[in-house]
Each structure stands twice: as structure tokens, then as C-alpha cells.
Amino acid sequence: MIFASDLDQTLIYSTRSMGLDGAEGSGLVMPAETKDGQVLSYFLTEMLPLLQAIAQEVHFIPVTTRTMEQYNRIELFRDHIAPTYAITSNGGNILVNGVRNEEWSAHIQTLIAASAAPASEIKAIFDEVASTDWIHGERYCDELFFAYVIDRERMPTEQVSRAVERITALGWKVSVQGRKIYLVPNEVSKSAALLHLKQQLGATVVAASGDSLLDQCLLDAASHAIAPRHGELFRQEQREPGNLAYTFTTHSGIMASQQILDFVSTVMAEFKTAAAVERKANV
């Protein structure tokens, strides 16, 4: 069995996103990520033993749009849990014991070269509508995709939509999520990396969790999917109730992570029971 989970606003949360005033000094949460002495994200303290137990019983695979560098600063996965596999860069890289799988990375680059316009061409199209009036930062992530920090209210929607049409015709997808816009080659996806590992590990059951549109393919590739009561997927569910075949938590913010891990624990117990029954039947 695999448990594949998005990280930010699914398992770990910034002060701004966790939805609990004053939680930082209460013992309710623990640092999950620190940079230059400043805590950037938190994890529910009481959930650490459960996540550790899950990671011991099944293949726990963190899945993130973060770059490899950004993933590696998450101390939760350095000091408390050491996942064998991690998917970073929105699926563009797979880490095995912290080391990039060069074969997978080369495979992805080959697919991109064969099916998508060069990154320079995509950036040139987007630069036609980009300005400091609404873009506050940009990054070319692990030489795979672009991430822009934006002021969504000031974004020139009509002009951006026209640029998006041109970009999507060139083998790239565009995802607007909260305060960020991502420009990503179609071949770079969380689900592709997950399915590769699923085949490699011979897993038959996959539980997945995530909150964003870039997580949708990940959840669609799972046999058991859960999303928190916040984020783009929940907003999509509100617009079109029942359109997404996922379980949604009843809590939002960091408390949703408790329900996500409880959900996975239940799936894990059912998987173990079914496996035991199958073994007994084969005796």
C-alpha cells in the first residue's frame, strides 16, 4: 500500500494557513520547516506518532510542487520521519533516500522535449502580460516549470486568459492557485510519478490527499482519495457538488490533517485485514 500526500496546506501549514490563532506557542503544533532560524510551517504535534506508524506500515510518499531544495529543508522528514521515496517538482523529480533518481529525471526531460515548446518560448508569451503591478515574484523551478507570486485581484484576467490559450496550445498547462500561477509542461505531473512508483513497488492500494488543482491528477490516480475542506479542490466541489469523487474533511486548516491521517489509518487497517484474509484463503 502507498500513502501519497501533498504537503503544503494538506499535512503542513504556515501560520497564515493553519487557521488557529496562537497555536505556535501552545504545544498543539510543532515546527515542520525552518529557514534561517524562522519557522515557516507547522505540523500537528499529536499526529506525529500516527504518521510515523503509517510510514512504518506502508510506503509513505510525500508529493509536492516544491523544488528539491525547498523539500529538503522540511525538518519533519529529516528529524522525525525519513520517507524512502519523495516526489518533488510537481512530479518532475523522484527522490530515493534523498537522492534524485536521474533515470526518472532524464525520462521526463525527454518527454518534455518531444511534446512541449521550450521554456523560453512559454516565458516570452507570459512576459507579454506580466508586470510588477500584479506579479511580485517569479521562479523557474528545477528547470521544469514556472511559478509566479501574484496579486490575484490586480491580475488582468482577460489578457492572461488569452496568453493561457496560447500556452496550452504548446504542450503546457496553467494553474492559478491562490496567490500563485504555475506554468507546467503537460508531461510533468504528480500522478505520472506516483504511477511509476506504484508499478515499481507493486502496490495495489493507494491512498492520496491534496488540496490544489495540481493535486487533482494525484487523487484521481488513487484508489482512496481525501481532500481538506479548503483550497482549490474544495472550492471546485462547492461550485459543482458531487463532481469530484473524493472524501472531504469536515475541518479546514491544520485540523484537516488529523482527519486525513485518520482516514489513511482506516484504509490501512482495511488493507491489512483484506491481505490477512487472502493469505488465509491461499493456505
User: Average pLDDT of 170-186?
Assistant: 95
pLDDT band for position 20 (cuts 50, 70, 90): confident
85-113 per-position pLDDT tens digit: 999 999 999 999 999 999 999 999 999 99
Whether the CB-CB separation of 134 and 150 falls below 8 Å is answered with: yes
What is the SS3 assignment for 171?
A: coil
On the question of pLDDT at 167 being above 80, the answer is yes
**What average pLDDT does range 47-52 have in this prediction?**
98
Confidence (pLDDT) at 97: 96
Query: Is residue 242 over pLDDT 90?
Result: no
Torsional class of 79: left (φ above 0), alpha (ψ -120 to 50), beta (otherwise): alpha
The pLDDT tens digits of the residues spanning 53-70 come to: 999 999 999 999 999 999
Distance CA 99, CA 268 (A): 28
Q: Average pLDDT of 1-25?
A: 91
Q: Which residues of 39-54 are buried (b: 16+ CB within 10 A; e: fewer)?
A: bbbbbbeebbeebeeb
Grade residue 274 by pLDDT with cuts at 50, 70 and 90: confident
pLDDT given for residue 67 in this prediction: 98
pLDDT of residue 26: 77
**2-107+188-282 domain in CATH 3.40.50.1000?**
yes
Q: If pLDDT is split at 50, 70 and 90, which confidence band does 51 have?
A: very high
User: Can you tell me whether residue 199 is helix, strand or coil?
Assistant: helix
What are residue 141's DSSP bridge partners?
145
- pLDDT at residue 280, rounded to an integer: 76
Distance (Å, whole) CA 283 – CA 279: 6
pLDDT tens, residue by residue, 139-156: 999 999 999 999 999 999
Residue 248 φ/ψ, nearest 5 degrees: -115, 140
- Using the Cα atoms of residue 254, residue 255, residue 256 and residue 260 in order, give the sign of their dihedral: positive
Enumerate the H helices of the chain as residue ranges.
15-18, 48-57, 68-72, 102-115, 119-127, 157-168, 190-201, 216-220, 231-239, 255-282
pLDDT band at 177 (very low <50, low <70, confident <90, very high): confident
User: Which carries the bigger pLDDT value, residue 24 or residue 202?
Assistant: 202
pLDDT tens for each residue of 30-46: 999 999 999 999 999 99
Q: Where, residue-wise, is CATH 3.90.1070.10 in the chain?
A: 117-185
Name the percent of the chain lying above pLDDT 90.
91
Distances (CA, A) of 28 to 12, 24, 41, 43: 13, 7, 13, 9
CA distance 43 to 48: 8
Residue range(s) occupied by CATH 3.40.50.1000 in the chain: 2-107+188-282
Q: Give me the CATH code for the 117-185 domain, please.
A: 3.90.1070.10
| Confidence band, pLDDT 50/70/90 cuts, at residue 136 | very high
Query: For position 21, what pLDDT does the model report?
Result: 74
